[in-house]
Amino acid sequence: MAPKLPISCRAHLNPSFILPDAFLPLTAKRGVKYGWTTAPARSKPNRFNQQSAGLPELSMSPAAALKRKDFTLPLRTGALAVKKGMTALYDPETGKRTPCTVLQLDRVQVIANKTRKNHGYFAVQIGAGWKHPSVLTRPLLGQFSHAGVAPKRFVAEFRVKNAEGLLEVGQVIGPEWFIEGQFVDARANCLGKGFAGGMKRWNFKGQPASHGNSRNHRTMGSSGASQGSGSRVLPGKKMPGNMGGQRVTTQNVKVLRIDTEKGIVVLNGCIAGPDGCIVKLQDAIKKPWPVMPPPVEAVKEAAVTV
Amino acid sequence: MASITPTLRPLACSKSILRRIRQQNTAVRSMMTTTYHRTGFVPPPPIPGAPHVLRKLKAIAPLPSAANKIKDPVKAFQDDQISVLDPTGARTHLFSRKNPESAKQGDILLVRLKNGDPFAGVCINIRRQGIDTGILLRNQLTRVGVEMWYKIYSPNVEGIEVVQRAGKRARRERLTYMRKPKHDRGSVQNIVLQYQRTRGPASGSTAVKVQEGLKGGRRKSKKGRK
């Protein structure tokens, strides 16, 4: 516990005597011996750099960072889906065959919202699947019960541009969230290749199969120059090692079919990841934002009134 | 409360005093007995001597899911397509394993297309992949071996007929040995022409016709091939 000043000493200082925060030295706020506090954080020095005083906008600030992302952040959230496999789609009129990937949405719900005020950015936290409560920790269970949803197996955040993209906690997102013909970005962990050699990992050319080559057909060969290059192997030298299992984004994938009954979204072509992997689908940032059709009820009401 | 210490003269400037006061305040706050709850839930005051019991978290049942009902959406999606592309089920029946009259490897098949010349050949492979089920037909056109794959559910395929059944059941599924000169059947053109002559206006029992659009299939094949 911090040593206490005697009351007489404390009484010397008038409570109205308050130094500006900028004058005060920086002290550790989160160390265990200093305890924690629910008081708001000390005011930032930003209050001295106001545009109204004639100073330019700071380019290294949270506000500037969010403004930079204005063009690339989607307006609305995405969904989590499980890649079920690939098949083909035949057009009955033209006879054209289009390979496609089938993804299934399973109990996708909004768990939480991230706001600029509390977290510094806007995002929607989405959960999918179901996990038995007995295999979850109490903190996680508490988070799900606070949201009013059953425990989810997969949880991921989808960043959105502003507060308009945030959804109600507990809202279910189905395949109808996407429109047939729109473009999406599909993000998933690609297939893992394990410990891969140089030829597979870095497209090394290997060495001749014959002509006296002795047990070095697929080896790296040289790993760099000698004394002239520092008498060492330079950092970052391409070498065999672990390959795959990383997140890969496939951009501008067209949505071919939506089936709410089966809960599936059919995408054109192939996406990263094995069958059964979890995929993040969100509106493609390099295509115009999709325009959602007006809800059917509104159209019916309009028809009735007319 | 701390024991009363002798009065100390404040050291140096008021900075150090304020720092120490701030530290004391945080320490005092950590000793607070009342807590503020964001959710508004106020737990009951603890009974002295009673064991601490964790409050029960609300258990919420999972929603019904389409993923649980339809465990194989790929097959379901393919079945939907097959019902559109093959409404009568004739194509499925022609290659069904349960059908004793089905087309098998070793048979000579004739494929009529919507766009293009019909192709006939010995079926040396049937690749079953749901909607992507395909057959590999081998023929010799002017002494050049030609193999063609055809998707049986493709809208471009108008119809598939069995021209001649294999005399003896092939002892393997893939007849790629037929690529060797010893086992190569050669050109099946003569067999196909004979079949088309004998077929005539009446539908033969061996020929399984597909009902979608049979127009001039016979006449097309009479064109001389180069």
For A10-20, the pLDDT digits (tens) are: 555 555 455 55
In a domain, A51, yes or no: no
Q: Kindly report the number of other CB atoms within 10 A of residue A263's CB atom.
A: 24
In a domain, A37, yes or no: no
For B89-108, the pLDDT digits (tens) are: 999 999 999 999 999 999 99
Query: Could A130 and B130 be called an inter-chain contact, meaning their C-beta atoms sit closer than 8 Å?
Result: no
Of A44 and A134, more confident: A134
Q: A106 pLDDT exceeds 50?
A: yes
| Burial (CB count <10 Å: 0-12, 13-18, 19+), residue A264 | buried
A257 is written with which tokens?
A: 């079919």
Query: Could B66 and A94 be called an inter-chain contact, meaning their C-beta atoms sit closer than 8 Å?
Result: no
Query: Could A133 and B59 be called an inter-chain contact, meaning their C-beta atoms sit closer than 8 Å?
Result: yes
| Of the partner residues B10, B15, B39, the one whose CB lies closest to the CB of residue A24 | B15
For A146-183, the pLDDT digits (tens) are: 999 999 999 999 999 999 999 999 999 999 999 999 99
User: What dotted CATH number matches B73-215?
Assistant: 2.30.30.790
Cβ contacts (< 8 Å) between A110 and chain B: which residues?
none
Query: A169 — phi, psi (to 5°)?
Result: -65, 130
Query: Could A19 and B18 be called an inter-chain contact, meaning their C-beta atoms sit closer than 8 Å?
Result: yes
Cβ contacts (< 8 Å) between A112 and chain B: which residues?
none
Q: Which of B156, B165, B159, B171 is nearest to B212 (CA)?
A: B159
pLDDT of residue B21: 84
For chain B, what is the mean pLDDT?
84
Query: Could A35 and B27 be called an inter-chain contact, meaning their C-beta atoms sit closer than 8 Å?
Result: yes
Rounded to an integer, what distance in angstroms lies between the CA atom of residue A86 and that of residue A99?
A: 7
Query: Could B154 and A90 be called an inter-chain contact, meaning their C-beta atoms sit closer than 8 Å?
Result: yes
pLDDT of residue A12: 54
- Is the torsion defined by CA of A19, A22, A23, A25 positive or negative? positive
| Of the partner residues B8, B25, B36, the one whose CB lies closest to the CB of residue A6 | B8
Q: A239 pLDDT exceeds 80?
A: yes
In a domain, A107, yes or no: yes
In a domain, A203, yes or no: no
For chain A, what is the mean pLDDT?
88
Task: Check if A116 contacts B (Cβ < 8 Å).
Answer: no
Cβ contacts (< 8 Å) between A82 and chain B: which residues?
67
Instruction: Taking residues B25-36, report their average pLDDT.
Output: 71
Q: Are strands A264-268 and B108-113 parallel, antiparallel or unpaired?
A: unpaired
What is the span of the domain harbouring residue A279?
68-192+244-305
pLDDT of residue A29: 55
- The ipTM assigned to this model is 0.79
Task: Give the rounded percent of residues in chain A with a pLDDT score beyond 70.
Answer: 80
Q: B220 pLDDT exceeds 60?
A: no
Residue that is written with structure tokens 């079949």 in the block: B195
Query: Could A150 and B19 be called an inter-chain contact, meaning their C-beta atoms sit closer than 8 Å?
Result: no
Count up the domains in chain A and report the number. Answer: 1
Supply the DSSP symbol for A212: T
Supply the DSSP symbol for B174: -
Under 8 Å CB-to-CB from B152, ≥6 apart: which residues? B91, B94, B95, B133, B134, B135, B160
B133 is written with which tokens?
A: 């089920």
Task: Check if A153 contacts B (Cβ < 8 Å).
Answer: no
List the end-to-end C-alpha distance of chain B, in Å, as a whole number. 110
Cβ contacts (< 8 Å) between B116 and chain A: which residues?
none
Rounded to an integer, what distance in angstroms lies between the CA atom of residue B217 and that of residue B48?
A: 95
The number of residues in chain A equals 306
Q: Which of B70, B147, B155, B64 is nearest to B114 (CA)?
A: B155
Facing residues of A282 across strands? Answer: A185
Cβ contacts (< 8 Å) between A257 and chain B: which residues?
77
A254 is written with which tokens?
A: 């067209």
Q: Which of residues 174-233 of A touch B (CB under 8 A)?
A: none
pLDDT of residue B204: 44
Query: Could A105 and B114 be called an inter-chain contact, meaning their C-beta atoms sit closer than 8 Å?
Result: no
Q: Which of A6-20, A58-72, A208-222, B112-126 has the lowest mean pLDDT?
A: A6-20
Q: Which bin fits B186, alpha (ψ -120 to 50), beta or left (φ > 0)? A: left
Query: Could A6 and B29 be called an inter-chain contact, meaning their C-beta atoms sit closer than 8 Å?
Result: no
Q: Which CA distances in Å does A230 have to A138, A234, A237?
A: 54, 8, 13
Rounded to an integer, what distance in angstroms lies between the CA atom of residue B140 and that of residue B179?
A: 11
- Is the torsion defined by CA of B193, B199, B203, B205 positive or negative? negative
pTM: 0.77
Q: Which of B145, B158, B155 is nearest to B221 (CA)?
A: B158
Q: Are strands B134-141 and B119-127 parallel, antiparallel or unpaired?
A: antiparallel
For B154-207, the pLDDT digits (tens) are: 999 999 999 999 999 999 999 999 999 999 999 999 999 999 999 876 544 444
**Amino acid in the structure at residue A12:** H
CATH number of the domain at A140, please.
Answer: 2.40.30.10
Cβ contacts (< 8 Å) between A144 and chain B: which residues?
60
Most A CBs within 10 Å: which of B16, B39, B57, as the mutation test of the A interface? Answer: B57
Instruction: Taking residues A285-297, report their average pLDDT.
Output: 85
